[in-house]
């Protein structure tokens, strides 16, 4: 949780710093620069500005002279309201802009620091299709997926990203031999509380390598060793680990002894095994565990990192608008939204996973914060920009009475949404914890 508070604090600081620097540049008096809301814990006044850290860490603000005047208030000559429209727009825009530009820099640092690279994912070929899945009978092992929902894919990272966009139906274009096919998959959305999902049922070709052999297992007695690569079972070629698991799981007593062919140190060895039924797992097992696929850390040059970070910024931005569209059209339930509690939980897990994971999360939340703050919702920076645009068109400010009423409406709606997403985060706290592990 402490790491989560720190992450939120960084992003809020960046956002408010944008407003602060723009206001100082335009010589608009800054009364308070605060990280957090509520009672101030630490503070120091320098010139006209009080810099403070407040008790409630969920947010912050940069209070400007005369920024939110009330009806009949005397507006000071050098206040926010008295400055030209372009200067007020600059101050409003600077907060979200700082979030977006620093998110880009976080991604540049992430790629330079290094990101996990799994060679087995560097393909668009299907390694396995699970039975009783949406893809079974439509997609086959060896098919090459070329696009999902009209968006081209070249590797499994891109495929998994396309399938995780909370769409109920996915159109998949694939190559099968010399033929190009198009199939439609109806994939059930994750349960909003447990976050459990059956998924598409298609998997990458995870190498069929034995990672460990359990003591007192039939595999141990038969002579299987960690590091063995499974080539075939009963002369049926094995292409990935999932095929090993499913083939052994479908065993029945009438088959008797099965032959597992493995590659070991340049040798090809046939090992006879009789699977044993497990009452606990309710299936046949032999007592082997998959080896963790080979994953290395890939670092990029500064120039390459600039390009990759730009692509990721675009990808995350498109994802935000796509999600908003699905929420507004009720394709996706608001129960999937996450607030400060969920963010803090994910921040802690990202920090444990390493610097690159934390930088990626900072970037993702920063882009979300920047883009959502540009939405024209009155209480957001985008709302301020919208009112300034209306003022420029009408050549006079929107009346304070109208602005006050709009602020009350949108503030109430925002607080209701905040309570809703916080409650949703708390309800699935354990589910998020399991997922992150």
* Active-site amino acid positions: 16
Widest Cα–Cα separation across the chain: 93
- The CA distance from 264 to 193, in Å, is 45
Structure tokens at 371: 């883009």
- Asked if 398 and 162 count as a contact pair (C-beta separation under 8 A), the reply is no
- Asked if 54 and 35 count as a contact pair (C-beta separation under 8 A), the reply is yes
Q: Which DSSP string do the residues of 28-86 spell out, in sequence order?
A: PPEEEEEEEEEEEEEEEEETTEEEEEEEEEEEEEEEETTSSPPTT----TTSGGGS-HH
The closest of 297, 310, 304 to 105, measured between CA atoms, is 310
Instruction: Find residue 298's DSSP bridge partners.
Output: 115
Pairing relationship of beta strands 128-129 and 144-148 according to DSSP bridges: unpaired
Q: How far is CA 38 from CA 41, 53, 55, 217, 412, in A?
A: 9, 9, 6, 61, 18
**SS3 of 375-403:** CCCCCCHHHHHHHHHHHHHHCCCCCHHHH
Q: At what angle do helices 381-394 and 85-113 cross, to 10 degrees?
A: 150
Query: CA 57, 382, 340: angle at the middle one, nearest 5?
Result: 25
Residue 358: is it exposed, middle or buried by C-beta count within 10 angstroms (0-12/13-18/19+)?
buried
Residue 335: is it exposed, middle or buried by C-beta count within 10 angstroms (0-12/13-18/19+)?
middle
Query: What H or E segment, with its residue span, contains residue 96?
Result: helix 85-113
- The CA distance from 176 to 124, in Å, is 12
């Amino acid at each position: 949780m402490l790491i989560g508070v720190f992450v939120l604090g960084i992003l809020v600081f960046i956002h408010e710093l944008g407003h602060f620097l723009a206001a100082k540049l335009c010589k608009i008096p800054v009364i308070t620069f605060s990280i957090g809301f509520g009672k101030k814990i630490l503070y120091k006044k320098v010139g006209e500005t009080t810099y403070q850290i407040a008790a409630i860490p969920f947010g912050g603000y940069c209070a400007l002279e005369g920024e939110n005047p009330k009806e009949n208030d005397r507006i000071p000559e050098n206040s926010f309201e008295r400055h030209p429209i372009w200067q007020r727009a600059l101050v409003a825009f600077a907060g979200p802009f700082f979030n977006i530009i620093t998110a880009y820099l976080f991604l540049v640092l992430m790629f330079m620091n290094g990101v996990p690279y799994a060679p087995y994912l560097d393909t668009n070929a299907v390694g396995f299709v699970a039975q009783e899945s949406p893809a079974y009978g439509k997609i086959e092992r060896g098919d090459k997926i070329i696009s999902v929902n009209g968006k081209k894919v070249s590797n499994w990272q891109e495929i998994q990203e396309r399938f995780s966009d909370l769409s109920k139906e996915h159109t998949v274009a694939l190559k099968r031999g010399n033929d190009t096919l198009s199939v439609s998959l109806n994939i059930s959305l994750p349960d909003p509380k447990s976050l459990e999902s059956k998924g598409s049922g298609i998997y990458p070709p995870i190498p069929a390598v034995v990672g460990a052999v359990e003591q007192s297992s039939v595999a141990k007695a038969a002579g299987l060793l960690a590091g063995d690569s499974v080539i075939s079972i009963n002369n049926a070629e094995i292409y990935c680990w999932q095929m090993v698991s499913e083939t052994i799981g479908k065993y029945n007593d009438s088959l008797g002894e099965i032959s597992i062919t493995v590659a070991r140190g340049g040798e090809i060895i046939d090992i006879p095994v009789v699977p044993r039924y497990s009452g606990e797992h309710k299936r046949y097992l032999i007592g082997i565990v998959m080896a963790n696929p080979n994953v290395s850390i890939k670092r990029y040059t500064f120039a390459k990192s600039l390009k990759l970070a730009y692509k990721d910024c675009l990808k995350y931005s498109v994802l935000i608008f796509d999600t908003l569209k699905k929420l507004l059209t009720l394709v996706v339930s608001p129960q999937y939204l996450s607030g400060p509690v969920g963010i803090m939980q994910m921040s802690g897990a990202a920090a444990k996973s390493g610097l690159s994971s934390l930088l990626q999360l900072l970037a993702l939340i920063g882009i979300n914060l920047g883009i959502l703050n540009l939405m024209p919702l009155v209480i957001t920076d985008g709302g301020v920009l919208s009112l300034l645009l209306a003022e420029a068109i009408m050549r006079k400010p929107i009346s304070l009475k109208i602005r006050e009423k709009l602020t009350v409406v949108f503030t109430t709606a925002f607080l209701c949404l905040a309570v809703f997403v916080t409650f949703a985060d708390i309800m699935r706290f354990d589910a998020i914890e399991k997922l992150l592990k």
